[in-house]
Amino acid sequence: MDRSHLSQGEPNMKIGPKYKIARRLGAPIFEKTQTPKYALSLARKERSGGSGRGKQKSEYGRELIEKQKARFSYGVSEKQFRNYVDKALRTQHPVQALFTTLESRLDNILFRAGLAKTRAQARQTAGHGHTLINSKRVTIPSIILSKGDVVGLRSGSLASPLFGEVAERMKTIAVPSWLKIDLENKQVTVDGEPVYVPQEHVFDLGVVIEFYNR
């Protein structure tokens, strides 16, 4: 578990109107926009001629959009995202390094395992002290987990109606192969390392690295 950046934690990121941001970036980057309701909203916008199609974007503009897609997808502040990129650029494989960092955040793992419904809820869950890492209570959503770390919810939290859907969600969610679910104890173990496959995501981290490596 990487604690090198935990001195002050990470403030809640103000995002703004999610439908509007997703339309501007051209991708359903929020859980709220991965619904039929959003698709209908987008179709109406296109029919009204407000989709912005036909406007030629510069290379810088396209790279900026990819960066924003990735940053908003994970709910990371600009400062924190830049820190992740700077760290990744010092490695031999910066794209994979950046992806590993983003996926290995506590809030993302809570979301991936079904312990939280959305990444936003996962950040709240961790920030309010409902989460355990290796049986120790934590309050920082941005902790970077490592292979062997075990994540769960406090017993008192599991008894709360706020987490009443966790068991059912963990049974049905498609969990990445690098995470191992323990349904009985409602825990998840980091069992490997996430591998970046561009086709599986709405953002292109290769372009993001190019944006910062100008």
Mean pLDDT for each consecutive 10-residue tract of the chain (214 residues)?
Answer: 51 52 58 53 56 65 91 94 97 98 98 96 96 98 98 95 94 96 97 96 94 88
Single out the residue of 53, 69, 82, 57 nearest to residue 198, CA to CA. Answer: 69
**Structural domain count, the chain:** 2
For the chain, the residue count is: 214
Q: Are 99 and 205 a contacting pair, CB within 8 Å?
A: yes
Full residue range of the structural domain in which residue 70 is found:
18-93+199-212
Confidence at residue 4, expressed as pLDDT on a 0 to 100 scale: 47
Tell me, yes or no, whether 116 and 161 share the same domain.
yes
Is 126 inside a domain boundary?
yes
Do 158 and 122 reside in the same domain of the chain? yes
Residue 64 maps to a domain: yes
139 contacts 105 by C-beta, under 8 angstroms: no
pTM of the model: 0.78
- Kindly provide the b/e burial profile for residues 172-187, where b requires at least 16 CB atoms within 10 angstroms of the residue's own CB: eeeeeebbebeeeebb
- 196's tokens: 């970046």
Residues 184 and 206 in one domain: no
Whether 139 is in a domain gets the answer: yes
Q: Most distant CA pair in the chain: distance in Å?
A: 54
